[in-house]
Structure 1
Amino acid sequence: MEVPVIDLSPYLEISPALSSSRLEEVGDQLGASLMGLCGEVSRILRETGALMVKDPRCSALDNDRFIDMMEKYFDAPPHFKRFQERPHSHYQVGVTPEGIEVPKSLVDEEIQEKLKAMPEEVRPAIPKGPDLKWRYMWRVGPQPSNTRFKELNSEPVIPDGFPEWKETMDAWGYKMKSAVETVAEMAAIGFGLPKDAFTSLMNQGPLLLAPTGSNLRQYGQEGTVFAGYHYDINFLTIHGRSRFPGLNIWLRNGQKVEVKVPVGCLLIQTGKQIEWLTAGGCIAGMHEVVVTSRTMDAAAAASKQNRSLWRVSSTLFAHIATDAMLKPLGHFADSPLASKYPPMCAGEFVKQELAVINLKGSKGES
């Protein structure tokens, strides 16, 4: 199965004129058409947990420029990269070295039981230890002036020797931010909620451009797990196209899909926070990054052309603001499953989840 693709252009053309929370007011056929498009977005997120979008504001050239710089960064020596490590900020800014983050499937007994029950042909690769990927976290957008969770809203970190860093990261980060906020608006409308039901909660939340770097020169053997089977703890995750295959996702029905992001498209995945806000109407999507035969073919081609053998993901995590309350919204509060999602401050939720996967670091704290 291919992940469905939605073109955001029709919504983008009219959304600036939408002052109300509902689309019916734009009139007759156009309103019905856009309501149908928003309904498709919410339906696909609910039924599958994954969606491809085309956003004219996000070009393949923008993505390439960003990946070029990140390949150069990840290719730097480990001791240089560790200068950007911020464990006291729970690795939510700066670099996370390989061997730090522990995949959820290694530490969550409920997930482990589900894995045992899965048919072998769709079962994920079982990691032997912490993830082998590096990751860089770059905050996009304003920080809250007043927050109980300063460590989750830290200043971005700029590595020495990269004068183009801030401009390149912000250029791509703000474009992906715009795309994911548009999807959040459309999903809210499709779910019968006010247009800003989700985006108002995202205001000044951590939007983290979070490219991973996986060293195919060092770990290019088929079956190597770079990111073990897990869900994302944020609201929605958006990915641009990577130069190397390897991302597998699981749809809500349990089907495993090897993702192929078409040129000019972005992949959206549901995270745990949208599951909370919809009382399980959406479920956080499971995924992994593994070296496959297709990864190895792409690496062999890159090696022949003397290109980088770092697999860089073009990923942005969109979070609900840390001081906002996570709880089922609107009619979702009447769901029979709502009691599974009690009201909880988003920052507390994130800290609990980070502790489980070994990212709630304390090194350097006084």
Structure 2
Amino acid sequence: MSQTALADVQVVSLADQAAEPEGFARAFGGSFERFGFAIVRDHGIDAGLIERAWKLTAELYAQPDEVKRRGHVPGGGGARGYTPFGIEIAKDAKENDLKEFWHIGRELPAGHRFADVMAPNVWPEAPEGFRETFLELFAAFDTAGDRLLSAIARYLDLAPDWFDPAVKDGNSVLRLLHYPPVSADAPGVRAGAHEDINLITLLLGAEEAGLELLDRDGNWLAVKPPEGALVVNVGDMLQRLTNHVLPSTTHRVVNPPPERRGHSRYSMPFFLHPAPDFVIKTLPGCVSADNPNRYPEPITAHDYLHERLVQIGLIKA
């Protein structure tokens, strides 16, 4: 692992964006182009809200298995509600991931045009205040994500609001992740090496050791952000849109050192997706003689998502 590389990864403050939008975009986008991820502090998500969310997440997973399974939707592809332990598997992996999770999506009004492809939320009976807290957190992630997409647009020489229509009513997902304690002889990873499907991912909870990202030299970099900061990474949709100018990051979650194996690990990634009908078509500014178009055939975000969910075992082909 290169200590120089780790030192070069950008830790940026979203508070700088208002006064220096171009400078923020250069720093944030440059880290995306080099590493596929960046660390963002001062992101604007209320610390008290985050604290409540962690408490409710721990209470959710402390419930008996049969209670949690009431939130599971058979055949739903894990889109909403509970996905039990050991179901998801990274693409091309041989071992299933050692995790369980709950998905919360966008609340749509009755009769919305995406109602047939964006499932309604599933809410647990307990803990109290769960629905209100996580709808508030979803909205806060949405706001932070919009600001970061604006910086990406500037970095790509697009209008700052270029992504606004793409993500309006987008199929974003807030995932509440629980990695239970592991035994001394458990497989070496809690989550196998993979790339995310979406545009960008905003992650809370990476302070607990385990998250590693694969650098271009083939070395794994351990990621440990400042307390409360977001780890933000490129997803495959953005990689495809930018013709790999912004690379999607391969990452994994490894088992902790022996002294931490008896502890649960919690994290909250927000997978920021475009609207289902958004057409992922290579940006002309990301095509050149040295970087010819890898994706001459456009695809909708919905069709791309479906392909990937089949690959990771959440839905059947």
If the length of structure 2 is used for normalisation, what is the TM-score?
Answer: 0.89
Is the deviation greater in 43-52 or in 338-347?
338-347
- Mapped partners of 2:97, 2:188: distance in 1: 10
- Mapped partners of 2:102, 2:132: distance in 1: 16
Contact 2:86 2:97 in 1 (8 A): yes
Partner of residue 149, structure 2: 184
Name the amino acid aligned to 1:200.
P
Per the TM alignment, residue 212 of structure 1 is displaced from its structure 2 partner at its CA by: 1.1
Partner of residue 254, structure 1: 218
Please give the per-residue CA displacement for 1:291-326, whole angstroms capped at 9, x wherever unaligned: 121xx43456xxxxxxxx321112110011111101
Is the deviation greater in 282-291 or in 247-256?
247-256
Does 2:292 match 1:337? yes
Per the TM alignment, residue 207 of structure 1 is displaced from its structure 2 partner at its CA by: 1.5
Per the TM alignment, residue 37 of structure 1 is displaced from its structure 2 partner at its CA by: 1.9
Contact 1:74 1:310 in 2 (8 A): no
Alignment of 1:53-68 (within 5 A): 53-68=40-55
Alignment of 1:119-138 (within 5 A): 128-138=94-104
Q: Which runs of 5+ in 1 are unaligned?
A: 15-32, 107-127, 301-308
**1:70 alignment partner, SS class:** helix
**1:238 alignment partner, SS class:** strand
Alignment of 1:314-325 (within 5 A): 314-325=268-279
- Mapped partners of 1:361, 1:79: distance in 2: 24
Is the deviation greater in 83-92 or in 232-241?
83-92
Does 2:33 match 1:46? yes
Per the TM alignment, residue 250 of structure 1 is displaced from its structure 2 partner at its CA by: 1.6
Per the TM alignment, residue 239 of structure 1 is displaced from its structure 2 partner at its CA by: 0.6
Name the amino acid aligned to 1:9.
A
**2:92 alignment partner, SS class:** helix
Partner of residue 244, structure 1: 208
Contact 1:4 1:51 in 2 (8 A): yes
Contact 1:185 1:198 in 2 (8 A): yes
Cα distance change, pair 56–318 in 1 and its aligned pair in 2 (3 A): closer
Partner of residue 3, structure 2: none
Partner of residue 268, structure 1: 232
Contact 2:90 2:192 in 1 (8 A): yes
Does 2:269 match 1:282? no
Contact 1:6 1:52 in 2 (8 A): yes
Per the TM alignment, residue 220 of structure 1 is displaced from its structure 2 partner at its CA by: 6.0
Identity of aligned residues (%): 23
Contact 1:222 1:292 in 2 (8 A): no
Bigger helix share: 1
Contact 1:252 1:283 in 2 (8 A): no
Name the amino acid aligned to 1:316.
F
Per the TM alignment, residue 215 of structure 1 is displaced from its structure 2 partner at its CA by: 0.6
**1:99 alignment partner, SS class:** coil
Partner of residue 86, structure 1: 73
What is the RMSD computed on CA atoms of the aligned residues? Answer: 2.3
Name the amino acid aligned to 2:238.
I
If the length of structure 1 is used for normalisation, what is the TM-score?
Answer: 0.78
**2:315 alignment partner, SS class:** coil
Cα distance change, pair 80–185 in 1 and its aligned pair in 2 (3 A): same
Name the amino acid aligned to 1:176.
F
Does 2:192 match 1:197? no
- Mapped partners of 2:292, 2:31: distance in 1: 20
Partner of residue 297, structure 1: 259
Contact 2:281 2:297 in 1 (8 A): yes
Per the TM alignment, residue 257 of structure 1 is displaced from its structure 2 partner at its CA by: 1.2
Contact 1:60 1:263 in 2 (8 A): no
Name the amino acid aligned to 1:329.
L
Cα distance change, pair 102–222 in 1 and its aligned pair in 2 (3 A): closer
Cα distance change, pair 60–220 in 1 and its aligned pair in 2 (3 A): farther
- Mapped partners of 2:108, 2:211: distance in 1: 30
Name the amino acid aligned to 1:345.
T
Contact 2:255 2:261 in 1 (8 A): no
Cα distance change, pair 246–321 in 1 and its aligned pair in 2 (3 A): same
- Mapped partners of 2:249, 2:43: distance in 1: 25
Per the TM alignment, residue 67 of structure 1 is displaced from its structure 2 partner at its CA by: 1.3
Contact 2:101 2:177 in 1 (8 A): yes
Per the TM alignment, residue 102 of structure 1 is displaced from its structure 2 partner at its CA by: 1.5
Does 2:84 match 1:97? yes
- Mapped partners of 1:342, 1:252: distance in 2: 27
- Mapped partners of 2:260, 2:136: distance in 1: 27
* Aligned match for 1:350, one of 294, 305, 309: 305
- Mapped partners of 2:57, 2:79: distance in 1: 17
Is the deviation greater in 48-57 or in 220-229?
220-229
Aligned length: 309
**1:64 alignment partner, SS class:** helix
- Mapped partners of 1:196, 1:67: distance in 2: 32
